[in-house]
Amino acid sequence: MSLERSIRPLERLQTLRECLDRKGFARILEAHSGISAIIAESARIQKDGEVIEYDGIWESSLTDSATKGLPDASIVGYDSRIHTIDEILNVTTKPVIVDGDTGVEPVLFEYLVKRLERLGVSAVIIEDKVYPKRNSLDEFANQDLEPPAVFAQKIKAGKEVAVTNEFMIIARLESLIAGKGVQDALDRAEQYILAGVDGIMIHSNKQDPAEILSFAEAYRPLCQRLGRRPHLVCVPTTYNTMTEAELISIGFNIIIHANHLLRAAYKAMAEAARTILMSGRSLEADALCAPVKDIFSMVGYDHIIRKDRERSELFRLLERENNGVAPRPGYSR
């Protein structure tokens, strides 16, 4: 229930680093609205005698844009994105990682960092493509990369305005998406690490994880040579035959399941809409739908009803005490 999920921004901001320090990895799930964020925060299972749940939430540019009925092409501005982020923060307590697209230019990225950090967001990921970007899963789009020295300056600008050490800036390498290869990604990673980045995300749109594995293997000696190892991040949307355990074993610290709640919701909504048309009524769609009472419970409506009943009972008691005279609305004792 949403009112029971409360945490101060600074406390939340710290939780991603705390999770990584404690476990060595974090399992992150996409959310694009308040209710999807509650699902991400609440999901848990028992497996081999252990409770398994998500460690945080990914606020995705793709799913935020799609929820608004718009393409993921830098059309939705930061003010609109902040509104969605605030919805998610309002009903959850787990760390939130925000997809910052390209970060645009340094001065705009500085303002984004300040706003996200103040809200209690734990990290922002920006990709080293030129603005306006095209989605990385579109194999036909032009994927033009920003010069690494220019992108490194953007990282430095963000790090300089961050107030806390807990807020993380993660660089998303698009070399594999652009067909530049593993070595280009490693060369870029080196410049970003020297610029002070807190994490490196290597991205691929191929089903074959060979390039991802090659990068992960070369990442360790690169970091040893540079004297620091930012967290290694992946988004295994296309190479999803690999398990989380396998990804962790080769060095990944943050694993983001980046768009699955929106895709699942889209499929279910489309099927429900077709079923109602086909049947001429909604009865047959009930099997595709959660009971309304489950939604009420999840978003806290049951809390309101319980409070209404408590107030009604209090009014009845006060009325008896006052010889049948009902107390004024809003009366508190």
Q: Decide if 272 is inside a domain.
A: no
Mind listing the pLDDT tens digit for each residue in 12-55? 999 999 999 999 999 999 999 999 999 999 999 999 999 999 99
Same domain, residue pair 104 and 168: yes
Residue 237: closest CA among 71, 42, 39, 63: 63
Average pLDDT over residues 222-239: 98
pLDDT value at position 331? 47
Same domain, residue pair 130 and 233: yes
pTM of the model: 0.89
Q: Decide if 32 is inside a domain.
A: yes
Q: What's the chain look like in SS3?
A: CHHHCCCCHHHHHHHHHHHHHHHCCEEEEEECCHHHHHHHHHCEEEECCEEEECCEEEECHHHHHHHCCCCCCCCCCHHHHHHHHHHHHHCCCCCEEEECCCCCCHHHHHHHHHHHHHHCCCEEEEECECCCCCCCCCCCCCCCECCHHHHHHHHHHHHHHCCCCCCEEEEEECCCCCCCCHHHHHHHHHHHHHCCCCEEEECCCCCCCHHHHHHHHHHHHHHHHHCCCCEEEECCCCCCCCCHHHHHHCCCCEEEECCHHHHHHHHHHHHHHHHHHHHCCCHHHHHHCCCHHHHHHHHCHHHHHHHHHHHHHHHHHHHHHCCCCCCCCCCCC
pLDDT at 276 over 90: yes
Average pLDDT over residues 139-165: 90
Last residue of a domain, one of 205, 235, 258: 258
Same domain, residue pair 208 and 327: no
Last residue of a domain, one of 258, 291, 321: 258
pLDDT value at position 222? 98
Same domain, residue pair 97 and 218: yes
Last residue of a domain, one of 208, 228, 258: 258
User: Higher-confidence residue: 2 or 80?
Assistant: 80
pLDDT at 200 over 80: yes
Residue 174: closest CA among 154, 203, 141: 203
Amino acid (one-letter) located at 125 = I
Average pLDDT over residues 84-106: 96
Q: Decide if 176 is inside a domain.
A: yes
The sign of the CA dihedral 265, 269, 271, 275 is positive
Q: Decide if 142 is inside a domain.
A: yes
Q: Decide if 282 is inside a domain.
A: no
Name the packing angle between helices 148-161 and 106-119 (round to 10°).
40
* Residue 333: pLDDT band with limits 50, 70, 90: very low
Please give the mean pLDDT across all residues of the chain.
92
Same domain, residue pair 208 and 306: no
Q: Which of 74-88, 125-139, 298-312 has the highest mean pLDDT?
A: 74-88
CATH number of the domain residue 110 falls in:
3.20.20.60
pLDDT at 332 over 60: no
For residue 304, what are the CA distances in angstroms to 1, 2, 50, 56? 11, 11, 34, 27
- Residue 309 belongs to domain spanning: 300-333
Q: Decide if 295 is inside a domain.
A: no
Same domain, residue pair 13 and 124: yes
The structure tokens listed for 2 are 């949403």
Q: Decide if 215 is inside a domain.
A: yes
Which positions are annotated as active-site residues? 72
Total domains present in the chain: 2
Same domain, residue pair 179 and 312: no
Q: Decide if 289 is inside a domain.
A: no
pLDDT at 316 over 80: no
